[in-house]
Structure 1
Amino acid sequence: MGKLDGRVVLVTGAARGQGEQEARLFREEGAEVAVADVLDDRGRDLAKELGALYVHLDVSREGDWESAVDGVTEAYGRIDGLVNNAGILRFNTLIDTPLDEFMRIVEVNQVGCFLGIKSVAARMADGGTIVNTASYTGVTGMAAVGAYAASKHAILGLTRVAALELAARNIRVNAMCPGAIDTAMSNPAHLDPTGASDTEEASRALDRFYRKLVPLGRIGRPEEVARLALFLTGDDSSYITGQPFVIDGGWLAGVNVV
């Protein structure tokens, strides 16, 4: 018996990184999974490997959401869960951030999450779950990622309001707040896996950096975030809703000065 037997879950940004690991784990735990992404080739390959459904989804477009939800319900007859994982990150000081860059981050991270809640909850079976991916930067500040942090703070607000509004249908809504996780977002070396030596050196440099910064002494793994998503999607969290869950190796706890 898997923890998600009989459930149908849509995961956005599922072609790689955290989303990929969430899709893999959810399938292992018995869920029917819809792999949703704009990376069509990679997403289709993963869906084929897992025996899952692939749906093209630009999370910032309402029409894409409508088509994706139609595809999932046509394939499986229902939808029980959503993991709003898709997101983008850009580095810039606030005063150097162009408006179009700020707005694109808001469109993908914040509007994408809003549209996911709006589109899926309307068609979701009572008793469903929504897991929104916020960030460590959604509960604190971080220089040079102002647009990203603003969008992730907004996701916590959306999570709490959605939890209140959907509670009567026993739909639970929670948020994950990852710190640095070893994906393409935190480690650009993942974007060019052909340069093995460069990838290894970049990973070693990141390891040295996070060994000093994070109390647990390392960058997080996407598999670890996937396990939190599983907990919040499954019955083990049946009395939890409207809450942020920080998964950051202790980063938010404070700073070592010795």
Structure 2
Amino acid sequence: MDTFQVIILALIQGLTEFLPISSSAHLILPAQLLGWQDQGLSFDVAVNTGSLLAVVMYFRRELYSMLTAWSGSIISRKQNEESRLAWWIILATIPAVIVGFTAKDFIATHFRNIEVIAATTIIFGLLLWWADRMSREGLSEFQVGWKKALFIGLAQAVALIPGTSRSGITMTAGLMLGLTREAAARFSFLMSVPVSLGAAILVTKDLISSGQAIDYQALGLGIVVSFLSAYLCIHYFLKIISKMGMTPFVIYRLLLGAVLCGFIFL
């Protein structure tokens, strides 16, 4: 890849990983519009690492408190709100891990196409709009509870279908369960840490076994661009939804779905 391709793809990864608009839908557009080839495993590892570092850096205080409280709860068997939140994040991660290991190849074979991505982009965009409009309660992420955490985790497993958007479907589930917009977003972002870390480990393992040539300069640039764009995305997204809600992102998803349908029928 040349420098322009690296920057564009890293920006797409960094921005769409945490916005409820589907990263997979956006990553196919450069190939469709510009005829770019697949970026390869090594670049996937780099940009995923960049976005993972961004969410860890942004929520470093929360993650440190959760990790400390969680490890302390194992020793003392006493819980506080941070340790309970950590346990709920772990519980919410389990469904995606199970589905990922058992159905990854099936999903890649049958669902990774533009028709499915167009449909899920529109359908789950409308579901996000409905959940945002119907949400009336005001729970924080510390009030989730294990049942709600498991439900959000099941929603995250659905996001393995391309076009669904991991952040979008988990925020939708959170809103349906009565979380505030900000709490649903924060819980979704915290959930991304173990999932992204696991994905990075698996893709790195595949990269090592593939023997693929590595362009370290492109990877370094991809990590930096992905990190910066993801960090800014998280910061401004939390500000936007507190004032405007999810409607701008729903409108964007519907327009994106229409563009993808255009590729199908033209």
**Higher relative contact order, chain-length normalized (CA < 8 Å, sep 6+):** 2
Q: TM-score, normalised by structure 2?
A: 0.32
Name whichever structure is richer in helix by fraction.
Answer: 2
TM-score (norm 1): 0.32
